[in-house]
Chain A
Amino acid sequence: MSSTPSGADSHLAVPGFARTNSEISHRIKNQPGYTTPVFKGKEEQRALVQEEVAAKGFIPQELVANEVNWFYSNLGIDDTYFQNESREVICDHIIALFGAKILAYTQHDPSKLVIDLEKIDEKGNGATFIHTSPPGLTVTEGPGATCETRIDSLFLDKSTPSNAYRLETYRSAGSISVTASQQLRCYFINKCVFPNELQKDANGKTDIKSVSDKSFLEKATENTLEIYQQVMWSVEERYGPVIEVFEVEGSRERRLVIGYKMGGTSRFFSALSNLYHFYSLYSARKYVEQFSNGITIISLYLNPLPGTNAPPIEHSIFQVMKEASLLYCLPDNPFFLPKAPGTHAVQEATYACKLPLATI
């Protein structure tokens, strides 16, 4: 990292002179900001699940091993899923997938293979959503259409320091089958477990480790912690949102980190997706982290969608950054919903939204 990600450098800037884009963004190494968890008991679990699926009798015996194997190895589902879910749930999901395949077969169209798995824990411990999703598009029908808005209203908007939910979501690397080029998107929502005591350093600043969720601490790399720490300090100082852009070395990937006070806005996460879709970007990973001192940090890994004539990510990322700040003010804007006729940029939509007020 070549410079600190916080506003520290901006305080040194001469007032009245704007920073150029390259000054605003920070450079980071091309490494994931989270370690990919490895679930050690995966093989063991696979054997047990296979037994269970076979016992249920829905899938022909000779296909069971293949199906389970495909689900475990080829689909690209993160280990987090296997670690968190019970065998029964995994079993149900495998059988549901098999059903979906049969349905697609009877319709003679492999592209109709729609995967839509979800599990919302009744005790409020979290949820899992897995479904097929084309990259860089806002889907208006099918399983993914309402998923993010539901996550917002069920978990993220309601989060408070005493009852917060963190979110991880990935786009799977592989395709779901040989014949269909669809990719999977997985959402994992978990209730946060915070340490008991908030610790401040000598300067009265919060130590991020003392306010972080347990599983976040396990997964986040040192680098990520450092970035989040800086963002957190800026959020504590400021009333508004803190938005930072990071360039990833040797790739066109950009990471957008947004920090704000928990409950400071609502339906923001799903609105952000609409935003970067507008600029033909797709995200490989997204994280929403909650901290027990009432701060939320969202981080989006954004990549340009190949084969579009959209503006290059090097420019559009700054537009996304600017417009994210508008979205923070007015996330549920009727002119920017996917169903709105035509396409509006956020600035245009936000402008339009004040119209009813202007007719005084």
Chain B
Amino acid sequence: MIHYPSNGAQELMPTLSYQRLQTIQPLTDEELYDKIRRTVPNKHELQVLESFLIFNKHVLKTNFYQPTKVALSFRFAPEFLPEVEYPKKPFGMFMVVGNEFRGFHIRFRDVARGGIRIVMSRNRETYSINQRQLFDENYGLASTQSLKNKDIPEGGAKGTILPSIGATPRLCFEKYVDAMIDLLIPGKTPGIKETLVDLYGQPELLFFGPDEGTADMMDWAALHARARGAENWWKSFTTGKSAQTLGGVPHDTYGMTSLSIRQYVLGIYKQLGLREKDITKVQTGGPDGDLGSNEILLSSDKTVAIIDGSGVLADPAGLNREELIRLAKLRVPVSNFDKSKLSKDGYLVKVEEQDVKLPSGEIVLDGTDFRNGAHLRFKADLFVPCGGRPEAVNISNMQALFDSEGKPHFKYIVEGANLFLTQQARLFLEKRKIIVFKDSSTNKGGVTSSSLEVLAGLALSTQEYVDLMIFKDGKPSEFYQSYVKDIQQKISENAAAEFQCIWREHSRLQGVKPRTTISDELSSTLNNLQAELESSDLFDDLPSRYGVMKKAIPKTLVDKIGLETLLKRLPETYQRALFSSWVASRFIYKYGVNASSVDFFHFARDLAK
């Protein structure tokens, strides 16, 4: 009854559903629980009815009683999640139920960003498996996301949508977003959207990003939020919007993710005094993908093999770089490589080919099989996975990365593609003296870029946004170009700083602790420090706040809008998050995981400068 709109007083007759409920004596929670306990015939029914009770008690907002809606949405207080199963308490939880889908959204901080993923099911069986796992998967993804978001203001979040079999994913997404917006915008049109009963009592902001199956839907969501009247936040509601029409900053055009991966590769060269042109490299993910193509464009090493969806391209003498650049610019897979540019030992095996004779005389029976195992075949100094199946190197095949004498195929691995290696494999490889940098450290350029895309949306008024961010006559404004440069610089800075930190920590401990572990610890230490800072009064110290904001917000934006105006426009929760993430990451990157309180004192003293 809590969420029932309280306009009964104005009506002569209360609604029928209200009357229906009034004929029964309402019970208090305890009485209700007692009654359930006494009347149920077995434990299962108790469990079911109990969950109803828990459900009711934890709903903070719902559109259930909204006169018109396209799906039901609920915002929960996440207190009821058992700590044994969900060790980290989410900040907020949403559930959306529609005719042809169901979905969740979980975030670990008030200000949090993450992709919305559509989980497709091939058949009834996978559907029911997905149905059972949806929440847990969502929880897992959101918590991984928060590790990745360690040095940006937004914490981790993730949304999942599970369409029923045969449902149109696009329709599900639209309903999901619309029902979600019901809970974010106070209703102002009685009879259509009433004001909801809000037990949470705070304005809530969500930030959605593209993920599996939703990449082309971000524009719609932003425009829909605008149409629904979200004047302040439609610009920042989604990231990955079209650059031309909605002022988004596409990661792949500007190589945002590759930029951070690059910093790790360059870091290794610098630390070990290597010259890039002497280095041999193997790459998975071809010139058709975001990471693969940008890696080709940014590097100048001797690439000996590229493996992608279309096949395997290899040349021990180094693949012709001009030809690779040509493919990368065209965004086409390696199967389009001009074979005349190969040396006598080079070859191209396409997945659809069979019985191919390699220059060494070896015969490849099946192209697809050959491709699937190719990442275990080649040897080089450096391995940069920029694509490929998740967990391509795992406990069952990680031994294959070493030759018969136990010598590893690669000296350095910079894991660009998400989850290319399993955690076990990473630790194993590091134990055998391979230098490994894991995915969540190396490929965070994308999240940094998205985060700054959000910032632009929050900082600019609608008019400014339209003028400055959206392309005119197909061309970006000067402001836009300069803002993109700021983003790129920030990504490089952050990645280089984290690399330094991991490297330093590793040598300080004389290699006892694997870099993978250091990277994970770094994330959690950062997250904890951030949470502490967010609730501390350091933010209330104006000089420090101004000092930090000036450095944390890209220069282009500060110059254009002015710091004063920016601080007026950005929501306070966001400012706190921005403040704490900047302070935490700079501090840890500078002083390391084991920094002392004295270090922090020194650091904090200089914030206002």
Chain A residues with CB under 8 Å of chain B are 7, 10-11, 13, 15-21, 24, 238-243, 263-266, 279, 311, 315-316, 318-319, 321-322, 325-326, 328-332, 345, 347, 350-351, 353-355, 357-360
Q: Which of A21, A329, A359 contacts B98 (CB 8 A)?
A: A329
Q: In the bound complex, do residue B97 and residue A354 qualify as a contact, i.e. CB atoms below 8 Å apart?
A: yes
Interface segment among B5-13, B314-322, B462-470, B546-554: the answer is B5-13
Q: In the bound complex, do residue B72 and residue A329 qualify as a contact, i.e. CB atoms below 8 Å apart?
A: yes
**Complex CA distance for A21 and B13, rounded to whole angstroms:** 9
Q: Which of A240, A330, A332, A347 contacts B68 (CB 8 A)?
A: A240
Q: Which of A15, A17, A19, A329 contacts B69 (CB 8 A)?
A: A329
Q: In the bound complex, do residue B98 and residue A10 qualify as a contact, i.e. CB atoms below 8 Å apart?
A: no
Contacts A319-B17, A325-B69 given; does A7 touch B11 at CB 8 Å: no
Q: In the bound complex, do residue B190 and residue A15 qualify as a contact, i.e. CB atoms below 8 Å apart?
A: yes
**Complex CA distance for A19 and B194, rounded to whole angstroms:** 10
Name the residue of chain A whose CB is nearest to the CB of B14. A315
Q: Which of A7, A13, A21, A241 contacts B70 (CB 8 A)?
A: A241
Chain B residues with CB under 8 Å of chain A are 5, 7, 10-11, 13, 15-17, 20, 47-48, 51-52, 54-55, 64-72, 74, 95, 97-100, 102, 135, 168, 171, 174, 178, 188-192, 194-195, 224, 227-228
Q: In the bound complex, do residue B189 and residue A239 qualify as a contact, i.e. CB atoms below 8 Å apart?
A: no
Q: In the bound complex, do residue B17 and residue A325 qualify as a contact, i.e. CB atoms below 8 Å apart?
A: no
Q: Which residues of B contact A328 (CB under 8 A)?
A: 68-70, 99
Closest Cβ of chain A to B351, distance in Å, is: 37
**Complex CA distance for A265 and B7, rounded to whole angstroms:** 29
Q: Which residues of A contact B7 (CB under 8 A)?
A: 17-18
Most buried by A among B71, B171, B191: B191
Q: In the bound complex, do residue A15 and residue B51 qualify as a contact, i.e. CB atoms below 8 Å apart?
A: no
Q: Which residues of A contact B52 (CB under 8 A)?
A: 355, 358
Contacts A10-B189, A13-B190 given; does A358 touch B97 at CB 8 Å: no
**Complex CA distance for A329 and B68, rounded to whole angstroms:** 9
**Complex CA distance for A21 and B10, rounded to whole angstroms:** 10
Q: Which of A10, A319, A357, A360 contacts B97 (CB 8 A)?
A: A357
Q: In the bound complex, do residue A358 and residue B189 qualify as a contact, i.e. CB atoms below 8 Å apart?
A: no
Q: In the bound complex, do residue A357 and residue B16 qualify as a contact, i.e. CB atoms below 8 Å apart?
A: no
Known: A7-B192, A329-B70, A354-B95. 5 other contacts (CB 8 A): A10-B191, A263-B168, A266-B99, A319-B15, A357-B97
Name the residue of chain A whose CB is nearest to the CB of B63. A329
Contacts A18-B10, A241-B68 given; does A358 touch B191 at CB 8 Å: no
User: 10 A-B pairs, CB-CB below 8 angstroms?
Assistant: A13-B190, A13-B191, A16-B190, A20-B11, A239-B228, A264-B171, A265-B99, A319-B17, A322-B65, A350-B72
Closest Cβ of chain A to B80, distance in Å, is: 9
Q: In the bound complex, do residue A345 and residue B20 qualify as a contact, i.e. CB atoms below 8 Å apart?
A: yes
Q: In the bound complex, do residue B99 and residue A331 qualify as a contact, i.e. CB atoms below 8 Å apart?
A: yes
Name the residue of chain B whose CB is nearest to the CB of A234. B192
Q: Which residues of B contact A345 (CB under 8 A)?
A: 17, 20
**Complex CA distance for A330 and B67, rounded to whole angstroms:** 14
Closest Cβ of chain A to B65, distance in Å, is: 8
**Complex CA distance for A12 and B558, rounded to whole angstroms:** 40
Q: Which residues of A contact B74 (CB under 8 A)?
A: 354
Q: Which residues of A contact B67 (CB under 8 A)?
A: 243, 321-322, 325
Q: In the bound complex, do residue B51 and residue A263 qualify as a contact, i.e. CB atoms below 8 Å apart?
A: no
Q: In the bound complex, do residue B224 and residue A359 qualify as a contact, i.e. CB atoms below 8 Å apart?
A: no
Closest Cβ of chain B to A58, distance in Å, is: 44
Q: In the bound complex, do residue A357 and residue B191 qualify as a contact, i.e. CB atoms below 8 Å apart?
A: no
**Complex CA distance for A7 and B188, rounded to whole angstroms:** 12
Q: Which residues of B contact A326 (CB under 8 A)?
A: 64, 72
Closest Cβ of chain A to B105, distance in Å, is: 13
Q: In the bound complex, do residue A359 and residue B48 qualify as a contact, i.e. CB atoms below 8 Å apart?
A: yes
Most buried by A among B13, B69, B99: B99
Q: Which residues of B contact A347 (CB under 8 A)?
A: 17, 64
**Complex CA distance for A149 and B72, rounded to whole angstroms:** 23
Contacts A315-B16, A319-B17, A360-B135 given; does A15 touch B68 at CB 8 Å: no
Q: Which residues of B contact A311 (CB under 8 A)?
A: 16
Closest Cβ of chain B to A3, distance in Å, is: 12
Name the residue of chain B whose CB is nearest to the CB of A321. B67
Contacts A18-B10, A21-B11, A241-B68 given; does A330 touch B98 at CB 8 Å: yes
Q: Which of B10, B68, B192 contacts A20 (CB 8 A)?
A: B10
Q: In the bound complex, do residue B99 and residue A330 qualify as a contact, i.e. CB atoms below 8 Å apart?
A: yes
Closest Cβ of chain B to A342, distance in Å, is: 14
Closest Cβ of chain A to B129, distance in Å, is: 14
Q: In the bound complex, do residue B99 and residue A240 qualify as a contact, i.e. CB atoms below 8 Å apart?
A: no
Q: Which of A11, A322, A331 contacts B15 (CB 8 A)?
A: A322
**Complex CA distance for A34 and B52, rounded to whole angstroms:** 47
Q: In the bound complex, do residue A359 and residue B51 qualify as a contact, i.e. CB atoms below 8 Å apart?
A: yes
Name the residue of chain B whose CB is nearest to the CB of A239. B178
Give the 3 A-B CB pairs with smallest separation, nearest first: A18-B7, A240-B68, A319-B16
Q: In the bound complex, do residue B195 and residue A358 qualify as a contact, i.e. CB atoms below 8 Å apart?
A: no
Q: Which residues of B contact A20 (CB under 8 A)?
A: 10-11
Q: Which of A15, A24, A263, A354 contacts B188 (CB 8 A)?
A: A15
**Complex CA distance for A7 and B192, rounded to whole angstroms:** 8
Q: Which residues of B contact A264 (CB under 8 A)?
A: 70, 171
